[in-house]
A and B are shown apart, each in its own frame.
Chain A
Amino acid sequence: MALNLQPYPISKVDDLTYSFTTEKGDSYKCFFLSYSEYFVSYPELARKIYSFNIELTSPPALSKSIDRRIADTVIQIVGDFLSSRVNAVVYVCDPTDGKGAARARKFKSWYNYYEYSTEILQLNTDMEAGGIRLYTAFLVHKKNKLKHRFIQAYLDLVDAGEEK
């Protein structure tokens, strides 16, 4: 990766899971969940679309200071996943604790920094239905040959009717 990132050391827990631990002792697990079920209208793409998930798996450190290396580590993991130019990634900001918008801003800021210096395209949108509002981002490699089709699939998902 061309960027001057300073990610934390990333370990593979098993074939499905990466993990890393910050210098403050916070441990995270990262993985990609298939979103094929949401893209049935695009069978050629459905099995290539995943949601990125990052979960804190240790009690949170007391310090609330910003740790730039967490962003660098996420950028490393997601960038590596997309570098095959086969897959695309949806990031869904968990709204259940009322911090969905804050997560969206944070994720967007990470990739605003990233987008212009590397090769990942990011779209940020909200999805809303039934009183639920989800902040989402869509990421695909700019040299992915199916880039435009992926984007169309994502926008169709975002624009899906309230009720079918």
Chain B
Amino acid sequence: MDSVTKNRKRLGRGSHKPQPMTKAEMLQKMIKDQETIRTALQNGLTLKELQGKHGFEFATLPDIES
């Protein structure tokens, strides 16, 4: 779980829903997720492994004509 999500859950403790992200947190998370995925791919991880490890969700892709 990334730090932004952890922080949201912490802030939301005691209520039924986690606190919504601020816009700044949202932009930070978009960048951080890109970095995490890039580093993982450079280290030879697959997206399937990333899904399990970091909780990312990726689209299942159809065959493509090229």
Contact = CB atoms under 8 A, between A and B. Distances in A.
Q: Is the interface of B mostly helix, strand, loop or mixed?
A: helix
8 contacts: A8-B66, A34-B57, A38-B26, A92-B31, A127-B23, A130-B22, A130-B24, A131-B24
A29 B41 contact: yes
A19 B57 CA distance: 18
A161 interface: yes
Interface of B: 20-28, 30-31, 33-35, 37-38, 41-42, 46-48, 51, 56-66
Interface string A7-24: 111101111111000000
B34 A15 contact: no
- Which bracket fits the contact residues of A? 35 or more
Contacts of A31: 47, 58-59, 61
A134 interface: yes
B31 A96 contact: yes
Contacts of A29: 41
Nearest to A5: B66
B62 A16 contact: no
A129 B27 contact: yes
B33 to A, nearest CB: 7
A102 interface: no
B46 A17 contact: yes
B47 A92 contact: no
A110 interface: no
Contacts of A7: 66
